[in-house]
Structure 1
């Protein structure tokens, strides 16, 4: 859904008289030019309720009320044909929309925790107060936490995976525990205006043809880790175990763009 500001800009451009036409090419660094044109067209269509919109699509772009946008996807460039004011307005809009996405580094550690009477994974690594314990981002804090868990004799690390993805994109972490048993966590981090990260997790476990899914959501400070409860099952001796997730999320400070990650 285009913003009101974008719709207003489209209307203002279409209200401009027939001024002297010109041409200018703009290179976008981050936003695909096809996405820019798509947003432009959606805004024009939304603005059409208030003003007539004449649209002509071609294989290389689109013309809206005499303003022509041509794209070169290989070079990621946008060529604007229109009057001087229209060209400047579109250049300003392209600059506003062409920003590097916020990129998040994820660490997903799958834990096997032996459950004792009245105990759970949270009691092992957390403080037993309920909810998902959150651990600070200090250097070595995560390693210290894992050493504490292993020293208890009740925990082992099943997998330790890393991935990088853009905010509000998903990363998939798959672990094969043994024959016929697979755990898969689909993680979507979303960075808010405070620099905190809301992590949504869909944790799927398959065993013997049966599938169990657990969904969790938690907001943590940048760089912190959270312990998220997982599937609880019994081994051949009747002992209960939990396949919990220790999930750490941090914002990449250099703003490097990264593709959608699957691990």
Structure 2
């Protein structure tokens, strides 16, 4: 891989020396309400230079770790399956090299491509899912590959008892009925998050963060805002806990920069990504 010139702040290291690889998946063709998440990764790179590389939360600095920015994938906008295939192949290459893939969406469907790659290498994969929406529909308007169905498709890969959802506060009745039998869903907040450590133990974990888990009062720049979400501090503490698990891949998705003209949502996403990179960076 060659170095991407347009990088997130502090992430301009060489591929071979880096332990984390970030990349963008600019895809939003199945978005069910307001589109625009395809512009998230580019906007975050641009706006990242408005924050510091140093984290006062962790007393760590991006300049002290090795992160490679692989740029944005060139995804076929009209074909979800083609886009997922490209994401899967790119994620597989990173996993093969024993590095941590960190994907910037894009709509939430992009997670499926990364999970397909992860489960091939780790058949006992578990998934931790932060979101406002259950995403457990079997189809949305007849389409099985939709951001509204992504966790249902992931369940088909990992099976019962392997998906742990938090912050969920939206979905149709059938999603919640089906979910009670097949996944673990904690509504509204992160209560019970620490209890899953005994269930997961040291199994490999894929972590997917839909930013609309945040309340729209602090994060309006998303396509499907849902009132009643968590705040930034609550989310940070939850991410800190997840970083203590055996996370082998993760993504951050559903920022739609143009829907918040103030730029505050993009700035929040940048700060959150900085903290994620520092939390999940492991020397060994």
TM-score, length-scaled by structure 2: 0.23
- Give the structure with the higher percent strand: 1
- Give the structure with the higher percent helix: 2
Name which one, 1 or 2, has greater alpha-carbon Rg.
1
Which structure has more relative contact order (CA 8 Å, sep 6+)? It is 2
